Amino acid sequence: MRVIGGMYRSRLLGAPKGDSTRPTSDRLRETLFNILQPRLDGCRFLDLYAGTGAVGIEAISRGAAHVWFAENAAPAVASIRANLAALKINAGYAIEDRGVGALWPRLQKFTGQIDVVFLDPPYEAEAEYLGTLGYLGSLKGRAMLAPGAVVVAEHKSRAKMPEVFGGLELARVRKQGDVSLSFYELRAEE
């Protein structure tokens, strides 16, 4: 696994041993960041269920101003910290090692708004998708999102993602083999 583009391009990233962490593939990250590229310079980015941190690190590499990593598996958190240290990234990020639910109160104190949210829970954890997207589509969640923000969920292609989550509406799906990226945007009337 490697950084695809930006200032850390081609640098290798580590992952925990075993199969409990499933990193987003290089190919899918390339597709994701080709789509997100116009939004990245100076953006505020959430990498939820971050695993190795590869997606958030890719965002930093491509110009994100700040990335929040949320992950609660100790081996994965150690991997995020090791990858950041190996790349000598010392600023422009925060790690919430108690998971996504613990990140929400921290973000409510943040004075800015989030531009890009990426979530990649374990594919079989349907409740995590529904809960996280439901929160982001709620009044509280939408208050954290900047105008024009995008929320991207990585999931199995066979999983049917709902078209609407409160104030979020499915705008685009990009399928790549048995994995898809669903892009949600704030609904026009919101």
Model pLDDT for residues 6-38, shown as the tens digit of each residue: 999 999 999 888 777 777 888 999 999 999 999
Q: Give whole-number Cα distances, 23 to 20, 68, 108, 109, 139, in Å.
A: 10, 17, 28, 30, 31
Residue 20 domain flag: no
Q: What is the Cα–Cα distance from 125 to 33, expressed in whole angstroms?
A: 24
Of the candidates 50, 45, 47, the one whose C-alpha atom is nearest the C-alpha of residue 15 is: 50
- At 189, the pLDDT band (50, 70, 90 cuts) reads low
- Quote the pTM value: 0.95
Residue 95 domain flag: yes
Report the CATH number at residue 111.
3.40.50.150
Residue 158 domain flag: yes
Q: Residue 12: helix, strand or coil by DSSP?
A: strand
Residue 97 domain flag: yes
Structural domain span for residue 102: 26-186
DSSP conformation class of 178: T
Token duo for residue 133: 């997207």
Residue 133 domain flag: yes
Of the candidates 132, 138, 181, the one whose C-alpha atom is nearest the C-alpha of residue 156 is: 181
Q: What is the Cα–Cα distance from 8 to 56, expressed in whole angstroms?
A: 12
Looking at residue 61, its pLDDT comes to 98
The predicted-structure confidence for 102-117, as pLDDT tens digits, reads as follows: 999 989 888 789 999 9
Q: Residue 81: helix, strand or coil by DSSP?
A: helix
Contact 100/132 with Cβ under 8 angstroms? yes
Contact 84/47 with Cβ under 8 angstroms? no
CA 137 to chain centroid, in Å, comes to 16
- At 190, the pLDDT band (50, 70, 90 cuts) reads very low
Q: At what angle do helices 54-61 and 26-40 cross, to 10 degrees?
A: 40
Tell me the Cα Rg of the chain: 15
Residue 155 domain flag: yes
> How many domains are there within the chain?
1
